[in-house]
Every structure is written in C-alpha cells, then in structure tokens.
Structure 1
Amino acid sequence: MSTEPPEGPPPDQPPPGSPYGGGPYGPPPPGGEEGGPWGGGPSGGGQGPYGKGPYGKGPNGPYGGAPDPLAGMPPLAEGGKRVLARIIDLVIVLIPAVLLDWAVGGLRGNDFSTGRSAVGGLFTAGIGFFYEWTMTRDRGQSIGKRRMGLRTAMLADGDIPTSQAAATRALVLWLPAFCCSFFWFVIIGITVLLDRPYKQGLHDKAARTVVVRAD
C-alpha cells in the first residue's frame, strides 16, 4: 500500500493562490473585516463617517469615490420649509411689483383680477432678481430663508455663494417670472422636492448651490 499523501491541499484549507489563503494575495482586505474603514464591511453596513443622513453612508456615493462635498455641513433643508420661505419671498417681491404696475397703468383702477401687464412682468423679474442676488451674495439668506432658519451655500465648500453664483441662481429663478411666474415656480418646487441626493432646484444646479439649515 502506498504511503504517499494525496495530491492537492488538505480539504480544510483554501487552495494555493486563493486571495483568502496564504498565496500571493495575502490576507483578506481590511474592508471585508468587521470594523473596516467604513464600518461593517464593504457593503456599507456600518454607519461610517457620513452617517445615515441624506448624504449617503460613505465616500462611494454620487461622486464615484470622491468625498461627499456636504460632509460636515448642516443637514439639507426640509422641502416644506423651502416652500414656505419661497412664498414669503414671493409676497415681498410681488407687493412692490404690483404697486408699480398699477402706478404706470398696467392694472386698471382697482380691478386686480385682470392680471399683470407686460410692464408688471418686467417689474416682477427685475425686483425678484435684484432681491435674490443681493441677499444671497451678502449672507446666503433671503428674508424668507431667514424666517425659516435656512441658508443657501456653495455645494463645493458650504460658503456663502459668490456674487457670480448668486447672480446665476437669481437669474434662473426670476427671469421666467416675466411671463409665467406661477408655472415656473411650480416647476422649481417640483425639482427641489424630487431631486436626489442634494434637493437642488434648477436654479441650484445652475449655480452649484444647495439649501441647508442655518442652525
């Protein structure tokens, strides 16, 4: 009877060269161990440095391996508070716009049901742009956002928007108010509520900004 051992590795050991054995690949990668760099393994089971909030569970989110730009920033603003803040701002803009429109004869007498004239549309777009631009560039807050405890921030670093970013944001937001403000703000609101992961409206995407809690 032959006393030579059977060929191949023992059945209770992985074959040579296996990435989990003693082959050229060494021990298992640290991401597969309990307590790896992002918590419970590569599947993101742990909470990780980004928590479980709206910014994802780790760096492998929408930026494909780059750190999340909102890590360490306040949480994103709630959709309801953003809607209320915009309503406040609309009232602030529309009051002087309607009065100016009435003063130049765009509205006849006291019959405000006839709507705005083209001149009134210009007043709305112009006043809205100037209001949004100056307040966003100065402190990141319109009056509506201040009342709701929100602020606008640059997506890249969380700073107050630059003058150029604030102007771009205000232009996209208010220029269509010349002719179709109601429908345009409905579209803006829908994009804010549906966008993921940063709840950006079309004006936010154009300016690369986000709206976060101020506190």
Structure 2
Amino acid sequence: MFGYPPAGESPGGFPWPGAIRLGGRWRRLFAGILDLLVIGFISSPFTYRTVSTITGAENGLSVQVPYAETLLVAVIGFLYYWLLTAFWQGQTLGKRIFRLRVSDISGQKAGVGQVALRELVTWLMYSTCCLGWIDVAFILFHSRKQAVHDLAARTLVIDA
C-alpha cells in the first residue's frame, strides 16, 4: 500500500539483512494510552476550569469551553510527543515501557523535522471530528502498521 514494500522486504521483494521488526498493534495502543495518562497528569493543573465548566452544565444549555486552557493542553501534548520522540531515542514514556520506538522507514533514527511533521498531522487529525478514528484504522489494516501520520512523515513504529 502507498508504494512501500511489506515489512522486512526491500523494494525488489527480497528480505533485508536485519529486517525491521514492526511494533505490535496492542503494545502501540497501550503505549498510547499510557502517554495520554502522562499528558493528563502533566496538564491537570491547567484543565480544572475546563472540566468544571463542562460538567457544570445542569440545564442542558450550551456550554462555554475555555479555549485558552484547551489550547494550552494541546500544546503540552504536542511538545511531549515531539520532544521526547525526537530527542529520547524515538520514544515517549509509553513507547519506552512497551519497548517501541519511532524510526524512519529504513529503521534509522527519525529526524527532528520528520517527528514534528508526524505529530502535527496526528494533532490535526485528532482535533478534526472523526479523522482520529481513521488514523487508528490505518494502523489496523496497513501492512506496515502505519497510521496516516506515519505515512505523511515516512516513519514506522518498531521494536526497540
């Protein structure tokens, strides 16, 4: 799919020496959940007003969401994923615990700009209605277990 050979094969169809071992889908899911919990913990001092405003809507009327706090949490999340992945051997805390890392499509270290593009596409998709679910679905059905953000940045999630 998208012109890439299956995992562990060269463009000619023969196995690469030291073929890349793709990270498992379940481990990737649990690493992502752990990372979201870490971001929630880090950003919780900034979200109290947001949560109390949303849960305080008793009459079913429209709710005013404080956008400044929501934007701040998005920036914290982006920086968490980008900085750790770019400068901590391709790993966030969740990926490190579940022995995964982000690499370029050849299995080498992904560049800082490449990781920034990956995270930007991720945040754009997840902030746009249901596109986050499409991003996750790509991981399930793509032969190299790549999400849309991986395809855009030409990255893989592999065993560490």
Which residue, 163, 170, 186 being the options, matches 2:119?
A: 170
CA distance in 2, matches of 1:115, 1:96: 23
**Structure 2: gaps spanning 5 or more residues:** 1-5, 58-62
Higher percent of residues as helix: 2
CA distance in 2, matches of 1:133, 1:89: 12
Q: Any conservation in 2 of the 1:140–1:160 contact (CA below 8 Å)?
A: yes
Measure how far apart 1:106 and its partner are. 2.8
Q: How many matched pairs?
A: 149
Measure how far apart 1:170 and its partner are. 1.0
Partner of 2:142: 195
Query: Is 1:91 equivalent to 2:37 in the alignment?
Result: yes
Measure how far apart 1:91 and its partner are. 1.2
RCO higher in 1 or 2 (8 Å CA, sep ≥ 6)?
A: 2
CA distance in 1, matches of 2:36, 2:56: 17
CA distance in 1, matches of 2:71, 2:27: 28
Q: Any conservation in 1 of the 2:31–2:98 contact (CA below 8 Å)?
A: yes
Percent of residue pairs bearing the same amino acid type: 29
Counterpart amino acid of 1:149? Answer: R
Matches within 5 A, 1:30-179: 54-55=7-8, 59=10, 63=11, 65=12, 71-102=17-48, 105-108=49-52, 111=55, 117-138=66-87, 139-156=89-106, 158-178=107-127
Report the CA distance shift for 1:72/1:171 in structure 2 as closer, same or farther (over 3 A).
same
Report the CA distance shift for 1:72/1:165 in structure 2 as closer, same or farther (over 3 A).
same
Report the CA distance shift for 1:96/1:122 in structure 2 as closer, same or farther (over 3 A).
same
Query: Is 1:207 equivalent to 2:153 in the alignment?
Result: yes
CA distance in 2, matches of 1:176, 1:112: 28
Q: Any conservation in 1 of the 2:125–2:135 contact (CA below 8 Å)?
A: no
Report the CA distance shift for 1:115/1:205 in structure 2 as closer, same or farther (over 3 A).
farther
The structure having more radius of gyration, on CA atoms, is 1
Q: Any conservation in 2 of the 1:77–1:211 contact (CA below 8 Å)?
A: yes
Where 2:157 maps in the other structure, the secondary structure is strand
Report the CA distance shift for 1:179/1:117 in structure 2 as closer, same or farther (over 3 A).
farther
